Structure 1
Amino acid sequence: MLPWLAYGHVSPYLELAKRLADRNFQIYLCSTPINLSSIKKRVTQKYSQSIKLIEFHIPSQPDLPDPSFHTTNGLPLHLNSVLKRAMEMASPSVTETIKTLKPDILIYDFEHQQALIEAASLGVPIVQFFIMSASILCNYFKAVLKPDVKIPLSSTNLRATNYWQRKRQEMLRQYTNDQGQSRDSVQPTRKATDTVLVKTFVELEGKYIEYGPKLFGIKIVPTGPLVQKPEEDGEDNKEVMEWLNKKEKSSTVFVSFGTEYFLSREEREEIARGLELSMVNFIWVLRFSIEDKISIEEALPNGFLTRVGDRGLVVEKLVPQARILGHPNVGGFVSHCGWGSTMEAMSFGIPIVAIPMSLDQPGNARLVEEMDVGLEVNRDDNGGLSGEEIAEFIREVMVGENGKKIRVKVGEMKDKIKSEGEEDIDGVVEELIRLHNKNINGESKD
């Protein structure tokens, strides 16, 4: 397995590894030391023999001076392109790892195009594991393969504001050149395999799973939500859990925007205003990039922490998100709608107040509203938020009369995920065995 250099990618790859290990697969999960350190505690004794963490190193760059920068966690967004180039320079190390391990199959992430080309040249069958939604994947294939195809991708239709229209064009420019043709860097994805594993499930995105083979010749195989069990969450923060234990059932909203996206001062102020006006308890994970030299007190409005008192807890370090969302005293989640966080919210039956930031998140937020499991906060044409609306939506999804439908629907989604268990993984196993057998029979030479 070769995930992209981000905690939000390494984590679902580990969860997929665990499900496959339960079915007698031997897994080698390869990444940089800083990324693997984030999941070491989650490779418990049960999996210590079947899941091996394999380190590779990428060359030092002037903008990435030491190994702690070899992850997107805390990395300023303008350095992501530098990290990608550094990863490309590490291809000899990755190739040597593949030669040494001699895997039956390489499961790769979308950013590792050079690695999959090298694996294919070594005769290793390759399959992509896409950790975003099937709707986003279909939109991606539409943009780079068939821009004229007509499909009702309603969940990826962004809100009709100038702000999100500009954001959408920025996203599409990452995958196409000035003539609208797909960049060379994305071509191997289409050529390498006719199968993509996707972190989703049929009840949520059945129509998009069907679009893959019908319109693009791509078989989309759902893996299920791949949410870690709360007891296996490797993060340890006793202060947060002790504080949460003292609150009433469903009385607290959890606020987090992941490990890669950082709020502007204006966004922080409006979210703080929303939390203050909502009058509900909250845990706010407030993170900054490694370049920012600012404290929590400096980042928040004057007097905010004093005014909210024990009703609110603001922390900067990583917290056990799965344990928090699975706690009975949590009743809402203010989220950027990264796909992993969205899956966790639905798996634990927690309504979402969506404040998307970039990339796939606006499409995920639209899907959240489409499925009636949350509400998306509006932005004005400059991207501005309203604290009053944030407060209104928090109260609505947690205790409001109109929010009852959302609370019921997300509870039904939780029950559906729980009842179906690991059925999707059986489909993944069948597909991997098919690809392996096809390869050894000499039928998969592309």
Structure 2
Amino acid sequence: MAVSWEYTMNSNMNTYVPFNITSVLRYSGGTLSSPSLTIKNVTNNDDGFYRCVVSNRDGTTTSSSFYIRIETTLPEVLVGTTSITVKTRSNTTLYVNYTSGPEMKSVTWEKRDMTNPFIFHTVNITDNDRYSGGSIDKPYLEITDAMVEDSGYYRCIVINNDGMSTTPLFNISVQKQLATVKVPVTSYTVKEGDNLTLSVMLSDTENNSTIVWEKKGVDDSTYTQIDISSNKKFEGGSIASPSLSILNITNDDSGHYRCKVISIDGTTTSTAIQVSLETSSEESSCGKLNCGGLRECVYHNNKPTCSVVTWKAAAAGVAGAVGAVATVAVAAMKSLAAAKSVSPLNMNSPGNSQTPNTNSKAENSKPENEKIKQNKKNNRNQKDTQQNSHDSEHDMPEPQYTGQCQGVISSMPPPGV
């Protein structure tokens, strides 16, 4: 006499196959002493139809079918926020939790392909120091020190003995976080020899950020990087001390400065800072004059003009350089200046009796009426000459501001030249 069991996944009696009880530890029974079938730790694979077959020497008897329907309990997954926006270098967590009746098998995180939305790649959590979680005990996914390449769509797959559950997609957007550079003061005016600090305030920087200071001189069209490390004239310009100090300022330090902060996310450039050298008003006015290439000047009638010594030296230099034209111009100006002291003389006029008159004898020999006419004429000429001399003082040209042409005197000579 013998006892055996058969199994099929459907109700078609012709598809029953022998059930090997001894090959699976979860199964027991099916013997003469224990003909019943016992199944331990039921799984989905145990779902189906069973029957017992008993044989002796007289024949075989088959039992009616037993139907075992396995009710599966898939993991029930709970998720947190599925749309997350963070900045680089920050931390974020994709929250997942679950409940499961049957024994849990695994938790896996996947990230969708950037080009094909139907393909997902397993997130290698164990080999990435910035990732943690993704286990049965800690099913969430935590990302630290987020980077732009962490952006994308993620999902979690939870598997137990009954099957698999998949979470909705998590969308992570990691945005670049550029450093911020604030400039409290954008313009400085200092004296030659002073020390100056160009103040800046930084925020949102990282440990591996670098700082660069650049300068554009007064006559420059572009900015040039300042080599702070090898130039003792400058101090600062680091993450710890970002402001730039300029020591013993000279005219060459005038211009515009700017600070740049460079990080993995990009470069931030500050507002331009202007540095000017302080000058007196007199120096500024005299600087507009061209005294033949010399910078010495004085004030005449509240306007700057070349000094006597400088103008004479410049006149000689111009005369030698440009020839007769300059010589004539200088001579003309000297004649104009000398005209102020020229006055025609008359022996009969008051104050002129000491100056001899070569025509006096001739004049005395004329008739009396001719003398009277001549005296009247001389008096009129003297008045006209005095008037002309007086007018010449007012006709003296005012000093003129010059252009930028070196070697040409475009200022009037100072008084007395």
Return the TM-score normalized by structure 1: 0.12
Return the TM-score normalized by structure 2: 0.13
Which of 1 and 2 has higher RCO (CA within 8 Å, sep 6+)? 1
The structure carrying a bigger helix percent of its residues is 1
The structure carrying a bigger strand percent of its residues is 2
Q: Whose Rg is larger?
A: 2
